[in-house]
Amino acid sequence: MLDIEFIRENPDLVKRAAAAKGFEVDLDRLLALDVQRRELTKNTNSVRERLNQLSRRIPSLIAAERTQAVEDVRQLKAQLAVQDSELNQVTSQYNELMLVVPNVPGDDVPPGKSDADNVEVSRWGTVAEFDFEPKDHLELGTALGLFEFDRSRKYAGGRSYSLTGSGVMLERAVIQFALESIAAKGFSPLSPPVMVRASALTATGFFPLGRPDTYAIEDDDLFLVGTSEVSLVAQHADEIVRQEDLPLRYVGVSPCFRREAGAAGRDTKGLYRVHMFTKVEQVSIGPADDEWSRAEHQRILENSCEILRALELPHRVVLVCTAELGLGQVRKHDIETWMPSRATYSETHSCSTLHDFQARRAGIRYRSAPNALKFAYTLNNTAAATPRILIPLLENHQNRDGSVTIPLALRRYMGGVDKLLPVARR
């Protein structure tokens, strides 16, 4: 959520930001509601003060004056009820619009209409040139006995899957390696609730626009998170954090759920875009300082690149263009890992700076001076997300004989196994 004073002072800037990001918001109506809300608040407070003053005077009035005063109180109460109702309606409309005003992209964000306009900033690793016909992750996983789809979809529906045998161990190895790697950087591990109230999703900017992609548990008025970012940020909602405790750094691990409403095409084949996955997520909550925020963005971005280098996976980092930014994001870098079967780099990580967008919605503040409260800044980035990361892991490390070499960094989590072999050869 943006500061309304900022919107009042920079309406054209906010309008351009919304257009660049591709969000529709009636800013003129919002500003008109803001004026109406402030005027109604002023008038309502004035009536309430007159009512309170008159009510306090009544006991001291003589009988003749008291009768008129009681009638005046009755009329003021009726007037206040009407004005309160009108104020509530205007405030409700104002709040609804405030929740869909997008954050302003940073000056360094490239303009663009699609991911084709993202700008590559770095690249690591050499794309393998196989001297045999490489298999995709579906062929490899099937031959290696790592996962299956048909039985899972029989009882769980489309885009369901089961990891099996060494597939379970490989996923757990990646998750544990990523978790330990980020924890070693000073991030506090947390395995938070994944069923949350709507307020947590609103606080982090996923509601109201993200409802179509969110699974609802209607009988309990709860929702399943699509990332532990929701829980890691929302845990500090309505708190005043001690400045000396900042920054707060967390590494969350959790199952995640997304409906992926409207997704279609090759992304839905295999393990690339599924409804349930496991993710290790970095979240930082710090001071309202742009210099710190930029440095922290690079810090958590590099943490993830280190993990990919340890997994020996070629990847590149791209600075995401305006149209690919989410509602609250000031800037975002995607890490795209090389996937041989797709013959391209595909997104596996997403690193976002949000400034105080989430903290304003969540009410996360800190005391910057004895009588001064500021909203904190938040950032997040994927450390590892499975099963998607299994695609490049299998495809890049495959061998001519159908086996897959386990990167050295994962072997201690795999009981020392250095290679996955086709089922028939075990």
The full DSSP string for 308-334 is HHHTT--EEEEEPPGGG--SS-SEEEE
Q: Which of 166, 304, 350, 352 is catalytic?
A: 350
| Catalytic, out of 211, 347, 367, 411 | 347
Nearest 5°: phi and psi at 194? Answer: -110, -5
162 carries an active-site annotation: no
| From 273, 294, 299, 367, active-site residue | 273
Structure tokens at 324: 């690919």
291 belongs to the catalytic site: no
Under DSSP, the state recorded for 374 is E
User: Of 284, 331, 388, 395, which is the active-site residue?
Assistant: 388
Q: Is 15 helix (H, G, I), strand (E, B) or coil?
A: helix
Can 347 be counted among the known catalytic residues? yes
Is 304 an active-site residue?
no
Residue 408 backbone class (left: φ over 0; alpha: ψ -120 to 50; beta: rest)? alpha
Long-range contacts (CB closer than 8 Å, 24 or more residues apart) made by 135-140: 135/341, 135/395, 135/398, 135/402, 136/270, 136/340, 136/341, 136/395, 137/270, 137/271, 137/341, 137/390, 137/391, 137/394, 137/395, 138/269, 138/270, 140/394, 140/395, 140/398, 140/402, 140/404
Catalytic entry in 159, 249, 258, 331: 258
Reply yes or no on whether 350 is catalytic: yes
Phi, psi of 34 (to 5 degrees): -65, -45
- Indicate which residues carry an active-site annotation: 258, 273, 347, 350, 388
